[in-house]
Amino acid sequence: MGTAQLTAVPEPKYWHLRTVLLRAIDSEFATGEVIPNERDLSARFGVARATLRQALDQLELEGRLVRRRGIGTLVAAPRVGVPVSRREEGWPGGGPEQSWQTVDCAIAPATEQLAAALNVPVGETVYTVRRVRLNQGQTVATESLHVPDSALASLPEIRSAGSGADEGRAVLRRLERLTVDGESRAVELGVAEADEAALLQRPPGTPVLVVTTQFASGGKLAALAVATYRADTCRLTFGETGLVEVTPVAGTVRTAS
Amino acid sequence: MGTAQLTAVPEPKYWHLRTVLLRAIDSEFATGEVIPNERDLSARFGVARATLRQALDQLELEGRLVRRRGIGTLVAAPRVGVPVSRREEGWPGGGPEQSWQTVDCAIAPATEQLAAALNVPVGETVYTVRRVRLNQGQTVATESLHVPDSALASLPEIRSAGSGADEGRAVLRRLERLTVDGESRAVELGVAEADEAALLQRPPGTPVLVVTTQFASGGKLAALAVATYRADTCRLTFGETGLVEVTPVAGTVRTAS
């Protein structure tokens, strides 16, 4: 593959403006600072308001700008590195470093789709525990943890005093006893559905990173976690060794060389 | 946290339509099938063209629909699971299963940003090898692999016959001899910059999953890879054990229970 292709795709106007704006933001404004309003910006850069708005939308999507009603458009804080690993899943749960909070628990027969995903018969009882993950006081993720009754059956019973969050915590305490042999993960781009968006306190359709984790026990799938992380504020970190820490790499390094 | 919040965020009109459309697509159309045109769809669902277009844009972003000029809007194939691991990085390189192709190699003094990211002095020579990753004949990712001269210096020299791709392959062959003690990875949402977009054969601004990998050797950072994967067609898989394979979980499982 030659490099002749490099100029084959034309650069849209808003995209050029986005790159120019990004450079201006990096050099002239600090995190949390309010940038000039749309009228001033379109005058300064000599562009139509529609083009400017498209560039600002883009930078908001990239997590570089935040719009606050009644305040204006602010330079966003850098994304927070959020470790993704079993240690971080919060089973056992409890302890001061605990970052997951249990919201509720639904107990229902497996639908066709869920049965296929969990590899259990349609109609088997499935516990779905919903949790939110907090990072520095902000909700960064929401998760649905699906556990089929057959996986829980071998574990000591823990009676829940009430329902909802109590029931969910009882399921998580039972899972503490599960011997997890392995897990595999997938990450993809998604959008927050209405209920996820509500828990993330964002509008539906907000871009999220969907992390699907399968937990195996005794060679069988024992639990399936589907977590949605806010894509505007989070970078997911996977440290496979303790040797090197991933330090934030500014987006501009990608084009720096 | 109660569940009262669940109804706190109002659902925009286009979002409701997107959900209705998704159900219709899943039940009435097969992968690769052309869906009705905008006029017919807006009549069928009784919505304005602008709302319809917003919903279609959304489904295209989610990788559920693809627009093809001169053909129309098609139901997209499910995303392809792309394994991300050192074995997949393609150093050693070669072999029929080799999925990375070397595009070119730039040799330049480290800018301030790149020096900070690589933990080397500003001005140290850095080799930047660009590669593209193919999956079933489609370009799914592009990568810039930054290697400081100090990391290469300890490795046997391999002279490159030419420049560009040849030079890049020579750097990769030298890296085969590197003892990698560990690596850490971060995944975040990004957008394709102009040069990345050209290699991915997509317009600039296309959503991508940015995978940053740090490779350590002898307790020091030896290489930094910044890869951008097409977010519309890829799901990244991280298998930590061979026990369970992550199977595609349809997006709808997220709301199935």
Q: pLDDT tens digits, residue range B13-60?
A: 888 899 899 999 988 999 999 999 999 999 999 999 999 998 998 898
Is A84 a residue whose pLDDT tops 90? no
Please tell me whether residue A166 adopts helix, strand or coil conformation: helix
CB distance from B71 to chain A under 8 Å? no
Pairing of strands A65-68, A72-75: antiparallel
> What pLDDT shows up at residue B98?
62
Task: Indicate the residue among A50, A75, A100 that finishes a domain.
Answer: A75
Contact: B210, A8; criterion CB under 8 Å: no
Q: What CATH number is associated with residue A28? A: 1.10.10.10
**Which of chain A's residues have a Cβ under 8 Å away from the Cβ of B246?**
184-186, 212, 214
B160 touches chain A (CB under 8 A): no
Residues A53 and A138 in one domain: no
Q: Which of A52, A75, A98 corresponds to the end of one domain? A: A75
The three-state secondary structure class of B38 is: helix
Q: Residue A255 falls within a domain, yes or no?
A: no
B116 within a domain of the structure (yes/no): yes
Residue B253: the pLDDT is 56
> A227 pLDDT band (50/70/90 cuts)?
very high
In a domain, A257, yes or no: no
pLDDT at B92: 47
* Residue A89: per-residue pLDDT: 62
Last-in-domain residue among A75, A102, A125: A75
Q: What is the mean pLDDT of residues A217-238?
A: 90
A18–B103 C-beta distance less than 8 A: no
Give the residue from chain A lying closest to B249, CA to CA: A117
The pLDDT assigned to B108 comes to 94
**Residues A153, A191: one domain?**
yes
For residue B183, what pLDDT is reported?
Answer: 82
Mean pLDDT of A85-113: 73
Are B61 and B105 members of one domain?
no
Residue A68 has pLDDT above 80, yes or no: yes
pLDDT at site B251? 45
Tell me the chain A residues in contact with residue B7 when contact means C-beta distances shorter than 8 Å.
Answer: 198
**Does A92 lie in the same domain as A69?**
no
- Count of beta carbons in the 10 Å neighbourhood of residue A3: 14
Cα separation, A51 vs B184, whole angstroms:
38
Lowest average pLDDT, out of A62-76, A231-245, B146-160, goes to A231-245
| Nearest-CA distance B5 → chain A (Å) | 6
Domain annotation covers residue B67? yes
HSE, CB side, 13 Å, CA atoms: give it for residue A189. Answer: 30
Confidence of residue A113 (pLDDT cuts 50, 70, 90): confident
pLDDT of B12: 80
Question: Chain B within 8 Å of A93 (Cβ-Cβ)?
Answer: no
Label residue A47 by pLDDT band (50, 70, 90): very high
Q: Which amino acid is at B121?
A: P
Report how many domains make up chain B. Answer: 2
Q: Is B103 on the interface with A (CB under 8 A)?
A: yes
Residue of B nearest to A219 (CA): B243
Has residue A91 got a pLDDT over 80?
A: no
Q: Is residue B211 included in any domain, yes or no? A: yes
| Shortest alpha-carbon distance between residue A238 and chain B (Å) | 5
| Crossing angle of the two packed helices A13-28 and A38-45, in degrees rounded to 10 | 110
Q: With contacts defined as CB-CB under 8 Å, which chain A residues touch B197? A: 9
Nearest to B106 by CA among B131, B86, B135, B77: B131
**Would you call B28 an interface residue with chain A, using a CB distance cutoff of 8 Å?**
no
Separation in Å, CA B87 to CA A144, A178, A244, A249, B239: 31, 30, 19, 23, 11
The parent domain of residue A53 ranges over: 13-75
Helix (H) or strand (E) holding A7: none
Per-position pLDDT tens, chain B of length 257: 333 334 444 678 888 899 899 999 988 999 999 999 999 999 999 999 999 998 998 898 888 998 888 899 999 988 888 888 766 665 644 444 568 889 999 999 999 889 999 999 999 999 999 999 988 788 899 999 999 999 988 887 777 766 788 889 888 888 888 888 888 889 999 989 888 999 998 888 888 999 999 888 888 899 999 999 999 889 998 865 444 444 444 444 554 43
pLDDT at A179 over 80: yes
Q: What is the pLDDT of residue B87?
A: 63
ipTM attached to this prediction: 0.82
| A39–chain B nearest CA distance, Å | 24
Asked which of A29-38, A81-90, A135-144, A170-179 is least confident by mean pLDDT, the reply is A81-90
* Residue A80 maps to a domain: no
pLDDT, residue B84, reads 83
| Shared-domain flag, residues A19 and A110 | no
Residue whose token pair is 């286009």: B14
SS3 of A119, please? coil
A3 within a domain of the structure (yes/no): no
Instruction: Indicate the DSSP class of residue A145.
Output: E
Q: Assess whether B28 and B155 both reside in one domain.
A: no
Indicate if A129 and A188 belong to the same structural domain.
Answer: yes
A121: domain CATH number is 3.40.1410.10
Q: Are residues B150 and B188 in the same domain?
A: yes
SS3 A16: helix
Does residue A242 register a pLDDT over 50? no
Residue type, B249: V
Q: What is the H or E stretch that residue A50 is in?
A: helix A49-61
Structure token digits, residue A227? 């977590």
What's the one-letter identity of residue A233? T
Chain A interface, best mutation among B243, B245, B247, B252, by max A CB count within 10 A: B243
**Nearest-CA distance from A257 to chain B in Å?**
7
A66 touches chain B (CB under 8 A): no
Distance from CA of A156 to the nearest CA of B (A): 25
Q: What are phi and psi of A12, to 5 degrees?
A: -65, 155
The answer to whether residues B179 and B136 belong to one domain is yes
Cβ-based contacts of A104 with chain B (< 8 Å): 3
Closest Cα in chain B, distance from residue A140 (Å): 13
User: What mean pLDDT comes out for the span A230-242?
Assistant: 78
pLDDT band at A202 (very low <50, low <70, confident <90, very high): confident
Alpha-carbon span B50 to B27, nearest angstrom: 24
- Chain A contact set for B81 (CB, 8 A): 186
Q: Beta strands A138-148 and A125-135: pairing type?
A: antiparallel
B64 part of contact set with chain A, CB < 8 Å? no
- The reply to whether A207 and A176 lie within a common domain is yes
| Model pLDDT, residue A248 | 45
CB contact under 8 A, A183 and B212: no
- Given a cut of 60, whether residue A96 has pLDDT beyond it is no
Query: What are the E-state strand segments in chain A?
Result: 65-68, 72-75, 80-83, 100-109, 125-135, 138-148, 182-191, 207-217, 220-230, 234-239
Sheet containing strand B100-109, edge to edge, reads A80-83, A234-239, B182-191, B207-217, B220-230, B138-148, B125-135, B100-109
pLDDT by residue (tens digit) across A138-172?
889 999 999 999 998 888 777 776 678 888 988 88
Helix (H) or strand (E) holding B69: none
The average confidence (pLDDT) of chain A is 82
User: Is A123 found in the same domain as A215?
Assistant: yes
Per-residue confidence (pLDDT) for residue B80, from 0 to 100 = 83
**Shared-domain flag, residues A242 and A163:** yes
- Answer yes or no: is A254 within a domain: no
Buried b (16+ CB within 10 A) or exposed e, B99-124: bbbbbbbbeeebbebbbebbebeeee
Lowest mean pLDDT among A115-129, A233-247, B63-77: A233-247
